[in-house]
Structure 1
């Protein structure tokens, strides 16, 4: 499994120390795993899967399948408690924002805890 963890680190373009910070574990834990001294425990594997939801658990555990799973469309609850996609929500938020103060949203930037981000432009 250490090879797959190293491959994932390389894929994400992060250092082992950054992975330790993201997972909130000691750097030595990651170092020992990557050097083959220790095997990753269930707690570390669980943290990886929570922090990186795109990481395929089957691949991490067995090497089978793709490293990265397709992102599933996420839903958020709107003001009435109903589920809607972020795209629909941003349009309704934009409309209500425009009505409230005559301003339109120009750009929305979503920052993820893995250091990546997505920018949505209103054009």
Structure 2
């Protein structure tokens, strides 16, 4: 999967009937997701944070850059909602701690700058 749009649609296909269903259940704007699907934009930091909350074992580095596995191998591939994040800041800190890849970090900075 070469693009973030391809990887997003892979994620959608795991558990959801359609992009519309995914948008509804993740509470992420369908129009924005459709633009990501069509490679017209990237997911924002807020949208990435929402996906981490919903898919706690999602490898965000994979979603952003295509590098690595789609889910962290040390955790179950069961995708269950996660309610225990207290703030977006905590999620962002955990997310950044997981990453040590400079390519991914540059992409995150680009996404933040465009958000």
Query: Taking structure 2 as the reference length, what is the TM-score of the superposition?
Result: 0.55
Q: Which runs of 5+ in 1 are unaligned?
A: 74-111, 115-123
Structure with higher strand content: 1
Query: Corresponding residue for 1:9?
Result: 12
- Residues in 1 aligned to 2:21 and 2:15: alpha-carbon distance in whole angstroms: 10
Equivalent residues in 2 for 1:80-99 (5 A)? Answer: none
Query: Corresponding residue for 2:52?
Result: 49
Please give the secondary structure, in 1, of the residue aligned with 2:40.
coil
Structure with bigger gyration radius: 1
Query: Corresponding residue for 2:37?
Result: 34
Query: Once the two structures are superposed, what CA deviation does each residue of 1:15-67 show, in whole Å capped at 9, x if it has no partner?
Result: 11121112212211211211222221111111111111121122112211111
Q: Which runs of 5+ in 2 are unaligned?
A: 83-115
Query: Once the two structures are superposed, what CA deviation does each residue of 1:62-90 show, in whole Å capped at 9, x if it has no partner?
Result: 211111224648xxxxxxxxxxxxxxxxx
Equivalent residues in 2 for 1:93-108 (5 A)? Answer: none
- Residues in 1 aligned to 2:42 and 2:60: alpha-carbon distance in whole angstroms: 16
Which protein has greater RCO, CA pairs closer than 8 Å, 6+ apart?
2
Q: Runs (4+) of structure 1 moved beyond 3 Å?
A: 70-73
Structure with higher helix content: 2
Question: Matched residue pairs, number?
Answer: 76
Query: Corresponding residue for 1:66?
Result: 69
Could you say what the CA RMSD is over the residues aligned between the two structures, in angstroms? 2.3
